[in-house]
Amino acid sequence: MTHSTGVRDDEQTRPVLEALDARNGLFQRWLIAGSSGGAVAGRAHSLLARVGLGAAAVVCVLPAIIIVIGSLSEGNPFNNFHASIDPWARAVASPQTLRSIEYSFLVSLRVPVGLLVSFVIAWYLARNDVFGKRMIMYTLWLAFFLPILPATLGWILLLDPNYGLINTFAEKTIDTPVLNIYSLAGIIWVHLTLSTIPIMVVLIEPAQRLIDTAYEEASTMSGAGITTTLSRVTVPLIAPTLFTALIAGTIKSLEAFEVEQVLGVPAGIFVYSTRIYNLLRVVPPDEPQAMALSTFFLIILFALVLCYRLLLQRAQMVATLTGKGARLFTRQRTRGSYAVSTLLFAALAATVVLPFSMVALSSFSELFGFFNLKHPWTTAHWGLVLQSPAFTSALRQSLLIGAALAIVGTALYLGLAWSLARNSFRGKSAISLAIWMPWAIPGVLLGAAFLTLFLNVPGLRLAYGGPIALIVVLLVQGLPFATHMFEASISQISQELEEASIVSGATRFETLRRITTPLMAPAVASMSIISFMTAMKDISATVLVATPGTQTLPLLMFSYVVSGRLEDASVIAIVTVVIATLMALIVIRIGDRAAIMWQVTKPA
């Protein structure tokens, strides 16, 4: 009975089992097909990533190729190439060109000085409970965001040899001026206070803070003093960070242009960027000699970029925190820390707040620098500038270019960074190095190379004279820094999250848009704002490419300064400073919110 019942049960269940087997077979075939389709899609995405990275590498390397070829030709390298070493001979024989090389290296000496000062400040902020530390760091970030040309105008008001307020007061009291702003020392001072020390402190302080204090405490317990501990313990632990800051600072110092043009040229001081600008602006222009001088510095800067890349890789291998736990405590606040806080606040007030305040005052002055007139104050310059078609056009161009950089640039940088971080293929290191090439090309050279392209390549001639030309130059200029920052952020996100999304049926683009990008939203938002601010700050890369109809606010301000309309330049300076301050506050706010979210979501 049981047997017959079992037989009947088998007969009844056999169709169900066959149906299940058929469905399972179909499901397995669907999985195989899906996996095969996924593999095909993966190969397609990998190929697309390689093509995109290769195209970006070509665009980054092309300006350097144009510069080198142009240095070996007396004619246009595109349509009138005549091989010759005469451009190099003229460069070597020109006393002014040789002096510009000498001045360039002298100005770059501010970098090790700034690094030493920044290290001491960063160490004290990281190791002590300093009163007002948050405000100090905010001010340093603000100094990084603010354009440097308005600050230069402020220092002219303070240290001009004829009417500078500080020099006038010093001559009355001690019979000698403090500093002539139109000098090598004046140029170095402006860079140290606004561009070198602030950003170096911002870069070094986090690395200092992440050092286990047990190392320094062990050194102190062994009888070492502060100087010995710093030199033998702290400095070796963050040496990669310090060397990276030194090399990056040296590269950027050799690229400086607007400060040297405004303060150096009146005193007969030319660095190589202003010398190149001068060679390209004279009539007739000596473009071959400019390219020869450019190639000389391009070789030096490329070597520095190679060292920079090696140090970045080295920095990733140095661990100052281990799985054994760490002591990251700061020393308790003392009377000495209050004194240091007072000193830092005074220094920031004198070097950041004071020059920009002077520019704000000068925008309401009847005559730039002369506050002792019978009727020194007026709002006429504000009305004149704000109602002028030139200002309206420059503001519109700045907002348009800034928005394009923030949207298109951020998407481009993020895509390139994701392709570098999530793909392994032969030649990846070479492409990564090529993408760093724009860091070795100062803004003036980058602009000159793209100007040559725009004027001589038929398909690109349409872009010249419009905002697209400026957008392309600024996109390429910002590509190395932004791509590296995004690549570092993506590398911190586990690939398991993206793989889970792809297994669930999402495409790689959807995964990047809905998984990776939201996880690094603070970095994306910050980079968007930094990209936007490029249109409000850059002068060197766009000064040769821009036409009268495509001038941005910084270029209009620069043209006013060069032509002597300093009151009008002060008005535009205040507008750009207000925009930069708002953008800096947004970035700081984003960073604070990201830090709070990390504290809330980190594992216990």
5: exposed, middle or buried (C-beta count within 10 Å: 0-12, 13-18, 19+)?
exposed
Length of the chain, in residues: 604
Place 371 in a pLDDT band, splitting at 50, 70 and 90: confident
Q: How far is CA 159 from CA 163, 181, 186, 376, 502, in A?
A: 8, 5, 9, 19, 62
User: Domain for residue 199, yes or no?
Assistant: no
Does residue 523 form part of some domain?
yes
Residue 569 domain boundaries = 385-438+464-604
| Residue 557: band (very low, low, confident or very high) from pLDDT cuts 50, 70, 90 | very high
Kindly state the tokens that stand for 273: 């960027």
What the block records as the tokens of 374 is 């019978």
Mean pLDDT over residues 2-24, rounded?
50
pLDDT at 597: 45
Q: Which domain CATH number covers 516? A: 1.10.3720.10
Give buried/exposed letters for 291-302 (b at 16+ CB in 10 A, else e). bbbbbbbbebbb
Q: What is the pLDDT of residue 394?
A: 92
Residue 31 pLDDT: 42
273 band by pLDDT with thresholds 50, 70 and 90: confident
Token reading at 329: 């405590």
Q: What is the CA 18 to chain-centroid distance, rounded?
A: 65
> Given pLDDT bands bounded at 50, 70 and 90, which one contains residue 235?
confident
pLDDT (0 to 100) of residue 284: 82
pLDDT of 602 reads: 46
Fill in the DSSP letter of residue 333: P
Q: How far is CA 152 from CA 26, 186, 251, 579, in A?
A: 73, 10, 21, 18
Residue 317 pLDDT > 60: no
Assigned token pair, 173: 């009291």
Contact present, 453 and 61 (Cβ < 8 Å) = no
As given in the structure block, the two tokens for residue 363 are 């925008």
In a domain, 346, yes or no: no
Distance, in Å, from the CA atom of 258 to the CA atom of 571, rounded to the nearest integer, reads 18
d(CA 482, CA 474): 12
183 compared with 442, residue with greater pLDDT: 183
pLDDT tens per residue across span 397-452: 999 999 999 889 888 888 888 787 777 777 777 887 788 788 777 788 888 888 88
Q: Is 530 within 8 Å of 587 (Cβ atoms)?
A: yes
In a domain, 583, yes or no: yes
Beta carbons of 83 and 168 less than 8 angstroms apart? no
Helix 467-491 to helix 410-422 angle, to the nearest 10 degrees?
A: 40
d(CA 427, CA 430): 5
Q: Angle at CA 214, nearest 5°, toward 210 and 217? A: 120
How many angstroms separate the CA atoms of 87 and 72, rounded? Answer: 7
Q: Which of 282, 280, 281 is nearest to 70 (CA)?
A: 280
pLDDT bucket at 44, cuts 50 / 70 / 90: low
Cβ-defined contacts of 455-463 (< 8 Å, 24+): 456/76, 456/78, 456/79, 457/78
Contact 352, 145 (CB under 8 A): no
In a domain, 251, yes or no: no
Q: Please calculate the CA angle 94-96-101 and round it to the nearest 5 degrees.
A: 100
Would residue 15 count as lying in a domain?
Answer: no
- Which position has the token pair 């090529």? 434
CB-CB contact of 225 with 242 (8 Å): no
Say if pTM beats, i.e. exceeds, 0.85: no
Q: How confident is the model at residue 492 (pLDDT cuts 50, 70, 90)?
A: low
Check if the beta carbon of residue 574 is closer than 8 Å to that of residue 355: no
pLDDT of residue 243 exceeding 90, the answer is: no
54 within some domain = no
Q: Mean of the pLDDT values across residues 512-528?
A: 75
The answer, yes or no, to whether residue 392 has pLDDT greater than 90, is: yes
Q: What value does the mean pLDDT of the chain take?
A: 78
pLDDT higher for 462 or 476?
476
Average pLDDT (538-567) is 88
Determine the pLDDT at residue 181.
Answer: 92
pLDDT in tens, 50-85: 777 778 788 888 888 888 888 888 877 777 778 888
Whole-number Å distance between alpha carbons of 389 and 328: 56
At residue 21, the pLDDT reads 54
Spell out the residues 6+ positions from residue 508 whose beta carbon is closer than 8 angstroms to its own: 41, 42, 45, 502
| Average pLDDT value for residue range 576-603 | 64
Percent of the chain with pLDDT over 70: 82
Closest CA to 233 of 249, 251, 214, 219: 219
Give the pLDDT band of residue 474 (cuts 50, 70, 90): very high
Per-residue three-class SS string for 60-88: HHHHHHHHHHHCCECCCCCCCCCECCHHH
The maximal CA–CA distance of the chain, rounded, in angstroms, is: 126
In a domain, 217, yes or no: no
Q: What is the pLDDT of residue 337?
A: 76
| pLDDT reading at 316 higher than 70 | no
In order of 208, 307, 371, 455, the CA distances from 364 in angstroms are 43, 48, 10, 42
pLDDT given at position 466: 84
The total of structural domains in the chain comes to 1
